[in-house]
Amino acid sequence: MKIILSASVIALAAAAVPAAARQLTIDDVTMLSRVSSPDVSSDGRWLVWQQRETDLAADRGRFDLWRLDLNKKNAKPEKLAAEADVNETAPQFSADGTTIYFQSDKGGDDAIWSIAVGGGEPRKLTGFQGGFGGFKVAPTGDKILVWADRRPGAPSLAPAMVKKDPNAGAARTYDQMFVRHWDTWADGTRSQLFVLPLTADGAPGDGTAIEGTLVGDTPSKPYGGGEEVAWSPDGKTVYFALREAGRTEPLSTNLDIFAAPADGSTAPVNLTDANDGMDNLPNVSPDGRSLAYFAMKRPKYEADRQVLMLRDLATGQTRALTESWDRSVGSIAWAANGKTLYVTADDTQETPAFAVDAATGKVTRLTQLGHVSGVVPTAKGIVFALNSLTAPDDFWLLSGRKTTRLTSVNAGKLAGIDMPAVTRFSFTGANNDTVWGYAVKPAGLAADAKVPVAFMVHGGPQGSSNNSWSYRWNPAVFAGAGYGLVAVDFHGSTGYGQGFTDAIRNNWGGWPLEDLQKGLAAATTKFGWLDGDNACALGASYGGYMMNWIEGQWPDRFKCIVQHDGVFDARAMAYETEELWFDEWEHGGKAYFEDPAAYEKWNPVNYVDKWKTPMLVITGEKDFRIPYTQGLAAFTALQRREIPSRLVVNPNENHWVLKPKNSRQWYGEVLGWMDKYTAK
């Protein structure tokens, strides 16, 4: 079964663009509604989701719950729980489809609440103190699984009573690595699992810990969630992914999948101990007989291929279901009949949904264009979220061979905005491999007009400049500002097979730079509306590294450079970053002191004497992945060489820029810098 979503289908469902259409701006993007966390009732009638709205005055997002009647033709979304100044998130249906459980911070403390699908007054179910990260209701409806940060070995959710010394100083003290992660300093707590009873009167008490003596974070941090924990259909067992903590934690990607009784009566059992690579996304079949998950083979490699696995829970026999499919499974969901699994995976600048036959492993592509997420199998088909480079997320239903759009949540906000045109292209890159890219053309451009080039390099580096919407680096915003944006999926990118992804290891400044050079030449030759002599390069994370590398290796090509959170000195990075497994894997698997030559080969700091291109440097003080000292050092190098340069430091941002006001300022700085040097 192959369903083709044409470009016209995934374009915005708005009225015909009026004659006075205008360009997209970051002010528009920051105010868009963002849908996520869909769930569907067991009878397939009701779709619910959380929806983020921007409170610009408070410089944050706020969440409400919405619902849609899938039985009603042309039904419109309705608010279900939407109290002002309250966040309602993570909706989950009861097994009978009549009740929705959700998380709310009403009253100032997070708790689990419920509401009838038809509406009414929400009811608070829990009263434990200390906050929590998330929850899942058992399929049997008599228990709730909660994950929360507590001291290792905590017997329940009740916060530990810690006596504070009034004369103590404020210093943190540590005896082993992983003292900070992503944007948070270690405080001695771990995300752990607890089970509470769920009765007609609510979910009373502080619950029971089920992880025994295990020490680690489940879900994983910083951004693991409910996809990393799963109930058995009978509600007796919880499956979860966890990397055991210790002195090797910052060197290990070895998450394993454990099974634990929901009553905490016995210690968890490690089901994937034989694999030293990562195992994650446990998902139990509807009949309770099989456990689906993904497995990576190579330890310490966070971007290894994620193969869909099936484990017979009775015998322990395991099959690598997609071993022969050279793609990496990103999400997993079972069909109700247990015969099919629905997965997503990057594939040549798209992220489609696929069906995998549970018996044979046969893979069938279900969607074509755009980025699919949030797949929910239902009685009527699969519901999923879909976005593209020119359209933020909305929900769709695939039923048989028919695809139906369910929502157009931003149609009003985007009315009158003319989106750019996106064209993919390919060329022969490094190693004589086919490399793909895309060019984004501003809307309404005259036939004989030329625009300056914004040459954007993605991060990861195992990522992709794919057909997806972004609230941080949005190509349509650059096009709206009058730039022709060009992006290339260089060696190391995902969606082209694992060999292509692996090719960047020990090769950071080699084949990727060759691809970028050839790709920009191919784009400016192919697209006459690009002013190839008037270009700026920009990138973040690995893309930021590449900006520093380009300064020394391709110094005469660009009018200006924008470098965000990029590695400037590989030696310092090797000792400053938190997830050591990533940096060491990328340089051959050894620490800097064991093989300094591997790090110095592609180290931008060694070529500062060749730097000459004006550069804007951006960093976040809470970025522990590529610490802000790397940005300060790059800015110092620029200033000492008297190269035109500017430094932007976000005191309250991490590796990303997330707050709406900071996002607007970021685009003002970036576009202002580019305008200055392209004389727009």
Residues 73-85, mean pLDDT to the nearest whole number = 95
User: Do 407 and 75 touch, CB atoms closer than 8 A?
Assistant: no
CA distance 411 to 542: 34
Quote the tokens at residue 433: 């491999």
SS3 at position 520: helix
Q: Which of 389, 498, 513, 380 is nearest to 11 (CA)?
A: 389
CA distance 205 to 129: 10
User: Do 262 and 195 touch, CB atoms closer than 8 A?
Assistant: yes
pLDDT at 671: 98
Identity of residue 89: T
Residues 567-573, mean pLDDT to the nearest whole number = 98
Q: What is the DSSP letter of 351?
A: B
Beta strands in 243-299 (DSSP E): 256-261, 269-270, 279-284, 290-295
Is residue 17's pLDDT more than 90? no
Residues 215-221, mean pLDDT to the nearest whole number = 98
Quote the tokens at residue 14: 């708005």
| pLDDT tens for each residue of 429-479 | 999 999 999 999 999 999 999 999 999 999 999 999 999 999 999 999 999
Is residue 10's pLDDT more than 70? no
- Widest CA span in the chain: 74
Residues 137-165, mean pLDDT to the nearest whole number = 95
CA distance 680 to 677: 8
Per-residue confidence band for 20, with pLDDT thresholds at 50, 70 and 90: low
pLDDT at 440: 98
Is residue 680's pLDDT more than 70? no
Is residue 485's pLDDT more than 90? yes
CA distance 619 to 652: 10
- Peptide bond just before 219 cis, omega within 30 deg: yes
**Looking at the annotation, which residues are catalytic?**
541, 623, 655
SS3 at position 580: helix
The helix or strand, by DSSP H or E, that contains position 394, with its residue range, turns out to be strand 391-399
DSSP lists the bridge partners of residue 359 as: none
Quote the tokens at residue 54: 């921007």
SS3 at position 570: helix
SS3 at position 604: helix
Cα 529 to chain centroid distance, Å, stands at 33
Q: What share of the chain in percent tops pLDDT 70?
A: 97
Q: Which of 60, 71, 145 is nearest to 101 (CA)?
A: 145
Is residue 3's pLDDT more than 50? no
Is residue 79's pLDDT more than 70? yes
**Interacting residues of 496 by C-beta distance below 8 A, sequence separation 6+:** 348, 436, 489
Per-residue confidence band for 276, with pLDDT thresholds at 50, 70 and 90: very high
pLDDT at 401: 87
Q: Which of 319, 387, 303 is nearest to 356 (CA)?
A: 319
- Cα–Cα distance list, 638 to 3, 162, 224, 563, 631 (Å): 52, 49, 38, 12, 11
User: Do 511 and 554 touch, CB atoms closer than 8 A?
Assistant: no
DSSP character string of 549-561? HHHHHSTTS-SEE
- Neighbour tally for 256: CB within 10 Å: 23
CA distance 511 to 504: 7
- Neighbour tally for 297: CB within 10 Å: 15
| pLDDT tens for each residue of 529-561 | 999 999 999 999 999 999 999 999 999 999 999
Identity of residue 236: K
CA distance 97 to 118: 11
- Neighbour tally for 516: CB within 10 Å: 27
Question: Minimum mean pLDDT among 4-8, 155-159, 160-164, 257-261: which range?
Answer: 4-8
CA distance 56 to 220: 30
Q: What is the DSSP letter of 215?
A: -
Residues 360-389, mean pLDDT to the nearest whole number = 97
pLDDT at 12: 37
Residue 99's φ and ψ, nearest 5 degrees, are -125, 145
CA distance 425 to 429: 12
